[in-house]
Amino acid sequence: MDQQQHILYDEVVVNGGKTALTLSTEGILRWYDQGNVLQCLSIEKEVLGVSMVGQQIEIRSFVEIDSAGCCFGSTTRSLVRKTFVFKPLSEDSLRNLCDKIQGCIDSLGRPKKLFIFVNPFGGRKSAFKIFTDDVKPILEDANIEYTLQETKYQLHAKEVSHTLDLTKYDGIICVSGDGLLVEVVNGLLEREDWQAALKMAIGVIPAGTSNGMIKSLLDSVGQPCTAAYAMLAAIRGHKRSLDVATIWQGDTRFFSVLMLAWGLIADIDIESEQYRWMGSARMDFYGLQRILRLRRYNGCISFVPAPGFEDVGEPSSLSAESMEPLKAGQHGYEGPKVELGSLSWRKLNGPFVSIWLHNVPWGAENTMAAPNAKFDDGYLDLIVMRECPKLALISLMSELSNGHYVRSPHVLYIKVKAVILEPGSRTSDSTKEGIIDSDGEVLARGNGTYKCHLKSLMVYGKMQIVIDRGLATLFTPI
């Protein structure tokens, strides 16, 4: 190896044999093992941390390996923690090597201190085990300090995020499903310093039922949805913007980062909670029940189409006077600055089987709801189903895992900038209404619905939704 091509070049002992250890200007560590085979390690992609232990240097890493899958000839990718030990030949070399490698890590701008939420109630109640087994060891390997907060009740993470001293941290991690992410974003948006607060990157470690956001992030680069890959994304410190939708009704507002559903999808999502003991299988089980006893809902959806979709639906007679302005709050983000009355609106009238708005591709680890959705394109993906035979609908539900269901002639799939949803009653019974669900939580329960006696954030009626481009910040694998 030519010493002139490297920012670090020194002799070390590895497994009893002497070899040259180099660090290239591209951040690649190279050395030869006992079998005289060249070994390489990328500081940016694989190295977690470095430390001096006695007279040796330990480099802790995450190495990706391929292992045999359950099907013949298939392989699965996984990350394995691995420690490499080097013994420099002198005290000066020991300090120099450690300082140079640490300096290379520091130049990457990785987080040094994280605030971590753990939701012990979400999914299969495995968040603490995931934190202990998968998250904590990686934080220690990467020399990252952290503050741990167990959530005690619903909206606890929102309350903490609203008052948290963000100057002490480089990021927030949610060991949970999507619910804590939604709470954290809503908490940050309600702060007086919301503009600065939204620059704080948020990471998600999959420990819930759905895990749609982290699945979308990891799948975008072909990585499996595991805690290890999610942690590596957070530790490497890469960031990306995320669109946020403001949903409002009167003085009440809710900030959504994932989805809004009304009709079949919302009914399955919320009503299947009575079968939560079944785990993720509850969705398939109850979904089949709902299809066999299919409901249709009266109503209307008005929307501002993205370029290329201007001919969908029919012209809307919406006027500025008929729209409800987004009222200024006492503090925090007040919503997107847009004059709704000046936009070109279209509309679709019911009855509807389902209406689904999506901000990211995956709604859950096994549900690709919106295959064309982008994290920060400034649009929501609107999926509408008005009529569909039951057998065809069962077939479509089986294609949710790959997103192919949107190709069906029974499905309308477009992009929109703003939406006004006016939900109505069931066509079979005018005394019964529906459920409106956003990011896994009930926004509104109509008459005659599951647990309709419970108070919800909004009433079952007209809602307005507008997307704001690139408002929040996420840790991302790229």
Helices (H), 113-197: 127-130, 136-141, 156-163, 178-189, 194-197
Q: Is 141 a catalytic residue?
A: no
- 104-132: string of b/e by CB count within 10 Å (b at 16+)? bbeeeebbeebbbbbbbebbeeebbebbe
User: Kind of pairing, strands 56-68 and 47-53?
Assistant: antiparallel
DSSP of 212-259, one letter per residue? HHHHHHHHTTT----HHHHHHHHHHT-EEEEEEEEEEETTEEEEESSE
Backbone torsion region of residue 123, taken as left when φ is above 0, otherwise alpha when ψ lies between -120 and 50, otherwise beta? left
Nearest Cα neighbor of 148 from 126, 174, 125, 122 is 174
372 in Cβ contact with 403 (< 8 Å):
no
Encoded amino acid at 27, one letter: G
What ranges make up the beta strands (E) of 306-410? 314-315, 346-349, 354-358, 362-364, 367-368, 380-385
Query: For residues 19 and 52, what is the distance between their CA atoms, to the nearest angstrom?
Result: 19
188 in Cβ contact with 174 (< 8 Å):
no
Encoded amino acid at 405, one letter: Y
- Tell me the three state secondary structure of residue 193: coil
Structure-block tokens of residue 23: 């660090």
The backbone torsions φ and ψ at residue 49, rounded to the nearest 5 degrees and listed phi first, read -165, 170
Query: For residues 358 and 144, what is the distance between their CA atoms, to the nearest angstrom?
Result: 34
Nearest Cα neighbor of 113 from 85, 151, 159, 148 is 148
Query: For residues 8 and 19, what is the distance between their CA atoms, to the nearest angstrom?
Result: 14
Residue 71 neighbours by CB under 8 Å, 6+ apart: none
Give residue for tokens 């619903």. 154
Query: For residues 213 and 182, what is the distance between their CA atoms, to the nearest angstrom?
Result: 10
What ranges make up the beta strands (E) of 386-462? 411-426, 435-438, 441-445
Active site residue: 141, 170, 178, 437, which one?
A: 178
Catalytic residues: 178
